[in-house]
Amino acid sequence: MRGDPYVLNELAESLVCDWYDGRIYTEHDMQSSAYFHLRQYFNRERNHSWILRNQPTITLGPNRPTIKPDFGVFRNSKLYDVYELKCLLGVDLDAAAEGRIDADLAKIKSASRDIDIRHAYFILVCDDCNGYRFDRRSNDWSHGLLSVVVANVYCHLDSGRKRRGYDAARSRYDNWKHKHSQTSCQ
């Protein structure tokens, strides 16, 4: 099933704007920001039978572990969509893809295999000039189920042009990161 047009087309740019406005410094900030934008969207576009939950505990089945996606969208208490979010600012995505991204994708894969979900989203905030490319060939389970949304604060994804104001925003982020090195977005 196709992903939601709002999530695919507008959410990433909202997250980029939040980083530029100094609202995202950590992965928790990113999750709060995404939750805010998604709640607004669901309140505006959907009826009250749709509920967005933060880190719902989902049982995969008897004798199976539980998982906690970052977000779950429920309608009349039935799980429809799952979201995994990752904030990897200042990280080489090629190296990060081997561990942190793969762990989140494995969570989505488990949910899709054991639960009848409508759609899954992996949303990434990054500042890698090369961006992130999801390899569908090695993830054949993802066809028609998973949408990968990249919010690249460094450059526009369509043109590859560096975003105006990036250096000043990055300097502010680096100053904060230096002061709070234990809780930065990595």
Give the mean pLDDT of the chain. 84
Domains and CATH numbers, the chain: 5-183 (3.40.1350)
pLDDT score for 11: 96
pLDDT score for 182: 53
Average pLDDT over residues 114-135: 82
pLDDT score for 1: 47
Task: Check residues 165 and 143 and name the one with the higher pLDDT.
Answer: 165
Euclidean distance between the first and the last CA atom of the chain, given in angstroms as a whole number: 31
Q: Tell me the one-letter amino acid at 112.
A: S
**Backbone conformation region of residue 164, classed left if phi is above 0, alpha if psi is from -120 to 50, else beta:** beta
Q: What is the pLDDT of residues 134-160, one digit of tens each?
A: 766 667 667 778 888 999 999 887 888
**Max avg pLDDT among 106-120, 122-136, 159-173:** 159-173
Model confidence band, residue 47 (pLDDT cutoffs 50, 70, 90): low
pLDDT > 70: what percent of the chain?
Answer: 89
DSSP conformation letters of 22-82? T--SSHHHHHHHHHHHHHHHHHHHS-TTEEEEES--EE-STT--EE--SEEEEETTEEEEE
Q: Tokens 């990595």 map to which residue?
A: 186
Task: Check residues 44 and 73 and name the one with the higher pLDDT.
Answer: 73
pLDDT score for 138: 66
